[in-house]
Amino acid sequence: MNMDNATLAKYMDSTLLKPEATPSDVEALVADAVQHDVYSVCVSPNMLPVEIPAGSDVKVAVVTGFPSGKHDSRVKALEAQIAVTNGAHEIDMVIDVAAAAEHRFEDVEADVREVRGAAPRPTVLKVILETAALDDEAIVGASKAAARAGADFVKTSTGFHPSGGASVHAVRLMSEAVEGKLGVKASGGIRSRAAALEMIEAGATRLGVSAAAAILADDTDASGSGY
């Protein structure tokens, strides 16, 4: 699969979620994102507001319930609401992974629905499943639950779970489960151009990456958290 840099960049959410990230780190992230014209920057909630230079269409995404998902749904909803008030265009929420792992898909749906209610469209809602910790039935069931709850995307991973990040298999399962009605975001461990293109070919419509510039430069040894 071949793709020019301008097209590939627009798949990317350039991400900085390290606990030690500083405001100057976020400024550098934004400068890099604007230079390469990626789709968005994704940051932690307390880094808002993020100033995007005039003339750039780079969006701002923020994580909610991150990274464990083990938060009361009302807390996730409030966090999302505050983030939107502070300028976030997109919310990447983490589900209760245990609910998906135990195939309690009604609970997954209720969790997502709470956040959707607090951050209605046009805010984009992405739902992080932590697919490396789930079996195939859980991935499919959680994807469908997110769709029923009004999500805009399902997303593979936080990039912080010890079980791993995105896989081609998980992306394919998610893509098939949502039947083109939702976007699919692959994140976690995407450190090379080849890996990025492989995820897109499998059905990903967005990529979470922590080394956008290196990937676009075709550096297969790109460093970073791999989010």
- The CA distance from 99 to 103, in Å, is 6
Q: Is 92 a catalytic residue?
A: yes
- The CA distance from 225 to 204, in Å, is 20
What integer pLDDT is reported at residue 219 of this predicted model?
53
Q: Name the 3-class secondary structure at 165.
A: coil
| 162 backbone φψ class: left, alpha, beta (φ>0; ψ -120 to 50) | alpha
Contact (CB, 8 A) for 103 and 139: no
| Cross-strand partners of 104 | none
Which residue has tokens 């990937």? 215
Q: Quick one: tokens of 152?
A: 């805009």
Helices 168-178 and 136-148 cross at an angle (nearest 10°) of 40
What integer pLDDT is reported at residue 111 of this predicted model?
98
For the chain, how are helix, strand and coil distributed in percent, rounded to 5? 40, 15, 40
pLDDT in tens, the chain (227 residues): 889 999 999 999 999 999 999 999 999 999 999 999 999 999 999 999 999 999 999 999 999 999 999 999 999 999 999 999 999 999 999 999 999 999 999 999 999 999 999 999 999 999 999 999 999 999 999 999 999 999 999 999 999 999 999 999 999 999 999 999 999 999 999 999 999 999 999 999 999 999 999 999 975 544 444 45
| Cross-strand partners of 207 | 12, 186
Q: Is 70 a catalytic residue?
A: no
Number of neighbouring beta carbons within 10 Å of residue 122 = 9
Q: Name the 3-class secondary structure at 98.
A: helix
What integer pLDDT is reported at residue 227 of this predicted model?
55
Nearest one of 52, 22, 24 to 38, comparing CA atoms: 52
Q: Which CA distances in Å does 199 have to 11, 89, 177, 214? A: 11, 24, 16, 17
Q: Is 59 a catalytic residue?
A: no
Kindly name the residue from 13, 59, 92, 126 that is annotated as catalytic: 92
- The CA distance from 144 to 71, in Å, is 21
Greatest Cα-to-Cα distance within the chain, rounded to the nearest angstrom:
47
Kindly name the residue from 59, 76, 144, 185 that is annotated as catalytic: 185
What pTM, to 2 d.p., does this model score? 0.95
